[in-house]
A and B are shown apart, each in its own frame.
Chain A
Amino acid sequence: MYKIAVMGDQDSIYGFAALGFVPFSVTDPQEAERTLRDLAQGEYAVIYITEALAALIETEIDRYRTAGLPAIILIPGASGNTGRGMTAVKKSVEQAVGSDIIFGGE
């Protein structure tokens, strides 16, 4: 049985707590890395993380790209959409196809 975690600054994530996701309020990159590592080893299959926080711990997140679980999914935070989540999808396309054919070079 797996659970779902959501990481980010307090303002962005407390809404998700009401859905039954387990919120982890972190803003410090080092602490975020540590939390992410703990969560990935634990019982969490999906970890939603705000784009703002993800930007700070990019290398750590990249490590889980090709691993099985957990799935780390970027979501826009309270401060707005930075487009980082879409960039991650774009990156997958570029990795697979060699060039970006879905997003039409936006």
Chain B
Amino acid sequence: MSTKHVNPTRMELTRLKKKLVTAMRGYKLLKDKRDELMRQFLELVRENKTLREKVEAGIQEANQNLVLARAGMSQEALNVALMAPKQEVSLEAETKNVMSVEIPVFHTRMRTPDPSDIYPYGLAFTSADLDDAIKRLSDLLPDLLRLAECEKSCQLMAAEIEKTRRRVNALEHVVIPETRQSIRYITMKLDENERSSQTRLMKVKDMMLEAAHHYSERTAAQEEAEG
């Protein structure tokens, strides 16, 4: 692996060591975050799937009824019947923080709480199929809202998971190994410098002693005297 250029100094080494500790801690935390997000996401997405199946089936049925209703009534009559809706839904949106993802939570408020009081028309001049269609849709309303909440949360969490996963991978495969490598490089370099200055000192000491006491001359003289 190619190392980035680093200054082999003690200061740099301390800095890198601190960086490694932070990176390791960040990595562990982010990994935990990713795992927990993933767990919650999978739960939510399963719910999302079942809800969506249910809602899609419900809407399909309601649409069939609506088609029948339209066939049985004139366009004008239908328009008049649905002109002034009795029911009104308003939402209070809060956010819930799940692992730093702000997911929406909706509280609904309906104008007419009575489920049999939803038809905005008199029953005399409209087709029964229209009643059925509206009843179906109205029964579906809680699921529709829950689906909105669920699906939005899924989208937000998916984005967050992707981001977190990238960060975890970057730390695991780039930042941490690179820092380790740099630390190793600096340690080696410093050790090497230490050794080289050690030898240099020993050599200098030898030379100084030589200059002071003339060991080599003495040994030479001694050898001459003996031999």
Contact = CB atoms under 8 A, between A and B. Distances in A.
Interface of A: 1-4, 11-12, 14-21, 45-46, 48, 65-66, 68-69, 71, 73, 75-78, 80-81, 85-86, 88-89, 92-93, 95-98, 102-103
Contacts, number: 138
Contact of A15 (B49, B104, B134): B134
B158 A93 contact: yes
A18 B159 contact: no
Contact of A21 (B55, B56, B67, B89): B89
B168 interface: no
Contacts of A65: 155, 159
B87 interface: yes
Contacts of B223: none
B45 A93 contact: yes
Contact of A85 (B45, B56, B67, B90): B56
Nearest to A81: B56
Contacts of B183: none
A12 B59 CA distance: 10
Interface string B89-115: 111110100000010101000110000
Given A3-B90, A15-B133, A102-B46, A89 B85 contact: no
Interface stretch (B17-25, B140-148, B207-215): B140-148
B52 A85 contact: yes
Contact of A76 (B41, B46, B56): B56
A96 B41 contact: yes
Contacts of A18: 82, 85-87, 118-120, 134, 137-138
A2 B102 CA distance: 18
30 contacts: A1-B92, A2-B91, A3-B90, A15-B63, A18-B85, A18-B86, A18-B87, A18-B134, A18-B138, A19-B87, A19-B118, A45-B93, A46-B145, A46-B148, A66-B156, A68-B95, A69-B104, A71-B149, A73-B144, A73-B147, A75-B144, A77-B63, A78-B63, A85-B56, A89-B154, A92-B155, A95-B162, A96-B162, A98-B165, A103-B49
Contacts of A77: 63
Contacts of A80: 60
Interface residues of B, number: 58
Contacts of A1: 90-92
B164 to A, nearest CB: 10
Would you list the 8 A-B pairs with minimal beta carbon distance, nearest first? A71-B152, A20-B87, A96-B158, A20-B88, A92-B158, A20-B89, A96-B161, A2-B91
B66 interface: yes
A89 B148 CA distance: 12
A21 B162 CA distance: 34
A78 B66 contact: yes
A76 B59 contact: yes
